[in-house]
Amino acid sequence: MSATLRIALPKGRLYQPAVARFAGAGIRMDPDPGRRLLLPSSDSTIEFLVVKPADVAVYVESGAADLGVTGTDVLRETDADVLEPLELGFGDCRLVVAGPAGGRWPDLPGGRTARVATKYPRLTWKHFAERGHPVEVIAVHGSVEVAPLLGLSHWIVDLVDTGNTLRANGLVERETVMRVGAVLIANRASQKLKLDQHLALMQRLEQATG
């Protein structure tokens, strides 16, 4: 089998654990990509593409990459039409609603509509809509935890791991929106066309200790 599998990896938190998992599966690459976006590996049939976390699912859905590693938070937010053949067991955290400690929840004084700042506008809107709780969603790209302090929003929806960032900004968790973890995703057509390669890779990753 000579066809090459291109695997999209996200820069940031999930990058090193993903590199470690592939290394455990015998697929090694330079752990420091520098400015290179396409990286060869020790397996001549596999190459890696290093992109922003939000773009992994876009590359895989379009077929520009055969497979990818992504968090289920960005995957559900983009709602990409891809296969999810494997949970990878790292990057575990939670997407939560949080608000100022001592602030009113779930209703605001005077029955006002809450403003919610988040990097996940789609998931936030869906979460509150499912509860019949109308909110105004404010999409931001970072530093979400500061939004209530500055009066931009009443609440936030963001990822929590240890809870240290929430505490440091005087916020407490109110509700869990979803549990989050890293998954391997696959392009539908690629999996059909290169089924043997996909299955072999899956088996190696499942057996890898990370």
State how far the Cα of 145 lies from the Cα of 197, in Å rounded to an integer.
Answer: 43
Comparing CB distances to ligand AMP, the nearer of 94 and 204 is 94
Comparing CB distances to ligand AMP, the nearer of 3 and 139 is 139
Q: How far is the CB of 7 from ligand AMP (least distance, A)?
A: 19
Binding-site member from 160, 183, 184, 205 for ligand AMP (CB under 6 A): 160
Is residue 69 within 8 A of residue 10, CB to CB? The reply is yes
- Residue 52 tokens, joined: 């922003």
State how far the Cα of 147 lies from the Cα of 14, in Å rounded to an integer.
Answer: 25
Work out whether 69 is an interface residue with ligand AMP (CB under 6 A). no
Binding-site member from 110, 162, 192, 196 for ligand AMP (CB under 6 A): 162
Residues 13-32 that bind ligand AMP (CB under 6 A): 13
R_g over Cα of the chain = 19
Q: Which stretch binds ligand AMP (CB under 6 A): 27-35, 78-86, 102-110, 158-166?
A: 158-166
Identity of residue 33? P
Nearest alpha carbon to residue 69 among 8, 114, 110: 8
Binding-site member from 81, 161, 173, 206 for ligand AMP (CB under 6 A): 161
Residues 71-90 that bind ligand AMP (CB under 6 A): 71
State how far the Cα of 82 lies from the Cα of 128, in Å rounded to an integer.
Answer: 26
Work out whether 178 is an interface residue with ligand AMP (CB under 6 A). no
Q: How far is the CB of 18 from ligand AMP (least distance, A)?
A: 12
**With b meaning 16 or more CB within 10 Å and e meaning fewer, what string describes 13-34?**
bbbebbbebbbebebebeeebe
Q: How far is the CB of 209 from ligand AMP (least distance, A)?
A: 20
Comparing CB distances to ligand AMP, the nearer of 66 and 158 is 158
- CA atoms within 13 A of residue 66's CA, in its CB half-sphere: 20
Identity of residue 61? E
- Residue 191 tokens, joined: 């999996």
Q: 93-132 mask for ligand AMP (x: CB under 6 A)?
A: x---------------------------------------
Work out whether 165 is an interface residue with ligand AMP (CB under 6 A). yes
Q: Which residues bind to ligand AMP, rule: CB under 6 A? A: 13, 71, 91, 93, 158-165
